[in-house]
Amino acid sequence: MNKYTFSQDWFTQGKHLFEKHLAEFADAPVQFLEIGNYEGRSAFWQLDNILTNPLANLTCVDPQLDPVIRKRFNQNSYLCERATNQLTVFYNTSLDYFLKYNEGARFDFIYVDGAHDQESVLQDAVLAFNTLKSGGVLAFDDFEWRDPANPEIRPKEAIEGFLECYKRKLAVLEKDYQVWLRKL
């Protein structure tokens, strides 16, 4: 990871969960989706460590409104040898992606770390679940996070609501600061 340039590290504290729950997909021709990629720390880790099969692909969806962050993500993608053939990037909102660009894609793993307001999180959860393959893994970051400026902006309630509505269709693998699920 030291070949990349990142301004922050929110990934390392949850890296063990990626290692644990994504190991089954290593070196397989799988399809991953990441909603909210920021500078790409988790995306490039997945490309370097899990998506090692040349037929594997990672789709990243993030509007990247901050030009400095977008530039850093793009620079990091040039440093990742697999990014050229195995990374697809959509600079759109997740809703735009699902409604306009998804074209029936099905994913083995989806990581939701995009907008953190409850409406967006719930929307991402439902749309992601509908494109997740049976047996696939769905993960949410920042389950316990609160916006210091707006404490009512937090993903927890949306994720809890999703878990309640879909409880017969999923198995909870982890539930702490991140929530990891398997679609039944």
| Alpha-carbon gap, residue 129 to 119, rounded angstroms | 15
Mean pLDDT over each residue of the chain, to the nearest integer:
95
Pairing of strands 179-183, 170-175: antiparallel
The pTM of this model reads: 0.95
pLDDT digits (tens, 9 = 90+) for 133-145: 999 999 999 999 8
- Alpha helices (H) along 15-144: 15-22, 41-49, 67-79, 83-86, 94-96, 118-131
DSSP designation for 2: T
Closest to 37 in 3D by CA, of 141, 113, 119, 116: 113
Tokens 């982890």 correspond to what residue?
Answer: 174
Closest to 51 in 3D by CA, of 30, 78, 20: 30
| Alpha-carbon gap, residue 88 to 37, rounded angstroms | 12
Domain residue ranges of the chain, discontinuous segments joined by +: 31-105, 133-144+160-184
The DSSP annotation for 40-73 comes to: -HHHHHHHHHT--STT-EEEEE----SHHHHHHH
Closest to 21 in 3D by CA, of 128, 148, 109: 109
pLDDT digits (tens, 9 = 90+) for 128-174: 999 999 999 999 999 998 888 887 788 999 999 999 999 999 999 99
| Alpha-carbon gap, residue 26 to 68, rounded angstroms | 32
Instruction: Report helix, strand or coil for 30.
Output: coil
| Alpha-carbon gap, residue 80 to 180, rounded angstroms | 26
Residue 73 near residue 59 (C-beta atoms within 8 A): no
pLDDT of residue 37: 94
pLDDT value at 1 more than 70: no
